[in-house]
Structure 1
């Protein structure tokens, strides 16, 4: 009877993100950055609603909070691209980073929506 050694280290294999996914991540990030930056520059970020013509306009502090949520979304999306080129064994760090940026970005987005509802935009 052969007993396997479970303490042996398995060879690390870095993530390989398909080119199409990396290109999509960069393009989405660029669009969100451009849209948000123009929005805060003109003090009006529009978030579309479900139906055509419906949505919300964010101004002042609410626009900046929304813009901050955009920046966290960009960091989250761009980490996919960076992970592809990072050949070190640190996938757990990327998973934590993705979780933190997603959570903080989502909270900021919700704060902007709730404040808009209560403050009347």
Structure 2
């Protein structure tokens, strides 16, 4: 039987994940404190401003994304034979974060819709 070899995550990757994870938590906190978050767009697009329910979904996605980054760091220091659990947890975090971001965009899109102009003949 092969001897178990725990994962080794390079220092640069762990540092990158730590900085981005903290950055995502800061973004989540600032969105919560300001009660809105502006995600800039490209080119002539104004981007999107998350507010209300959409903001809550976006903040949740940022927190789940940060947890995913921290999972990789924890995996490096955990010497037990359970890498499959970390990989599964990471996949779940990616799926949940993606679903939350898409939901936040959809909810904000619905909130930002303008009422249609109805032209009537007066009858």
Instruction: Answer yes or no: same fold by TM over 0.5.
Output: yes
TM range (shorter): 0.7 to 0.9
With 48-57 and 16-25 compared, the bigger mean Cα shift is at 48-57
Q: CA deviation at 1:112?
A: 0.4
Q: How far off its partner does 1:96 sit?
A: 0.7
5+ residue gaps, structure 1, are 1-8
16, 23, 30: which one pairs with 1:38? 30
Aligned length: 113
The TM-score, its normalising length taken from structure 1, stands at 0.87
State the distance in 1 between where 2:35 and 2:23 align. 18
Gaps of 5+ in 2: 114-123
Aligned to 1:103: 95
Q: Give the TM-score, by structure 2 length.
A: 0.86
Q: How far apart, CA to CA, are the structure 1 residues paired with 2:108 and 2:10?
A: 39
**Structure 1: how far apart are the matches of 2:67 and 2:110?**
29
Q: What is the aligned-residue RMSD (CA, Å)?
A: 1.5
